[in-house]
Structure 1
Amino acid sequence: MICSASSPYRLVSVSTDKNKLDVAFIQQFLKDIYWAAGRTMEEVQITIDNSFCFGIYLNEKQIGFARVITDYVVFAYLMDVFISEEHRGKGYSSILINSIMTEPKLKEVKIWRLATSDAHFLYEKFGFTALGNPEKMMEKKVT
């Protein structure tokens, strides 16, 4: 999947082609962010290999990333969504999330989930809400 938008000054595109991903760029960002602190290059590569990935590019240079873990029918979990610091506040995160939510391969997914500490406003624009029954959810953390 590729979608793009252009203006006289820049070309923005979103791609699911894993060959275009700048793994070093992704790892550099993730290693310092609260939800993925310390994630190694090897771990980042494993997550990419096992996820449906989206890169967002400005003039062919990667400026953001997101990945989806899914069975393509029942459930999808949106993870590792980010736009690099210097490109925030310009609508690129909305372009990225819109590309994910309109991706034809994901059109049958019935339940979407994600976790965020600080971007509720973004995801609410795409229909995400607080869990309806959080008491039914469980987790296991391995340290």
Structure 2
Amino acid sequence: MILRKRDGYELDTDPARIDLDRVHHWLSTDAFWALGRSREVVEQSLRASLPFAVYAADGGEQVAFARVVTDLATFAWLCDVYVDRAHRGRGLGTWLATAVVEHLRPYALKRILLSTADAHEVYARAGFVPFPDPEKLMIARS
């Protein structure tokens, strides 16, 4: 799937286009939830996920990334959403999250979840709302 914004940004789901070195750098050095994550783990997680990337109009440099872990039947988890600092404030995070929701719509999933510490308004514009019963959620730490 390829989408284009009027300002020239392009969103693509082709895993072959992902700049793995760039994504690893972003996640391991600047994303608080993934600091120190190894390149091998980033690569493995990408292989087991649906990737979404945004590319700049001026030469196609990758400027954002997200991935979705899903069974394509009942559930999806949107994670590792990152927009390059130089491209923030242009609506790319919301565009990326909205594209994920729209891409998954034909599967009629029961839920698409994500976790955020600081970008609630970005995801709200893409249709996400607080989990209605957070007391039902549990986590097993490994």
Task: Please report the TM-score for the alignment, with normalisation by the length of structure 2.
Answer: 0.92
Letter in 1 for 2:43: Q
- The residue aligned with 1:36 is 34
1:51 CA displacement: 0.3
Would you say the 8 A contact 2:54–2:65 is kept in 1?
yes
Letter in 2 for 1:26: V
Runs of 4+ in 1 over 6 A off after TM superposition: none
Percent identity between the two aligned chains: 32
Superposition pairs of residues 1-143 of structure 1, within 5 angstroms: 1-7=1-7, 11-32=8-29, 33-59=31-57, 60-103=60-103, 107-142=107-142
Would you say the 8 A contact 1:73–1:106 is kept in 2?
no
Would you say the 8 A contact 2:95–2:126 is kept in 1?
no
Q: How many residues align?
A: 139
Q: For residues 5 and 121 of structure 1, what CA distance do their matches in structure 2 show?
A: 20
**Structure 2: tracts of 5 or more residues without a match:** none
Q: Which has the higher helix share?
A: 2
1:132 CA displacement: 1.2
Compared with structure 1, are the counterparts of its residues 41 and 6 closer, same or farther at alpha carbon in structure 2 (3 Å cutoff)? same
1:86 CA displacement: 0.5
Q: For residues 138 and 102 of structure 1, what CA distance do their matches in structure 2 show?
A: 27
SS class of match (1:103): helix
1:130 CA displacement: 1.5
Q: For residues 96 and 68 of structure 1, what CA distance do their matches in structure 2 show?
A: 11
1:73 CA displacement: 2.0
**Structure 1: tracts of 5 or more residues without a match:** none
SS class of match (1:128): coil
Q: For residues 111 and 87 of structure 2, what CA distance do their matches in structure 1 show?
A: 30
Compared with structure 1, are the counterparts of its residues 68 and 87 closer, same or farther at alpha carbon in structure 2 (3 Å cutoff)? same
Q: For residues 135 and 53 of structure 1, what CA distance do their matches in structure 2 show?
A: 30
Letter in 2 for 1:88: R
Letter in 1 for 2:47: D
Q: For residues 19 and 113 of structure 1, what CA distance do their matches in structure 2 show?
A: 26
Task: Please report the TM-score for the alignment, with normalisation by the length of structure 1.
Answer: 0.91
SS class of match (1:102): helix
Q: Single out whichever of 90-99 and 75-84 deviates more from structure 2.
A: 90-99
Compared with structure 1, are the counterparts of its residues 105 and 135 closer, same or farther at alpha carbon in structure 2 (3 Å cutoff)? closer
Letter in 2 for 1:78: L
Residues 87-130 of structure 1 deviation map (CA, whole Å, 9 limit, x = unaligned): 00011112211211111575422201100000000111122122
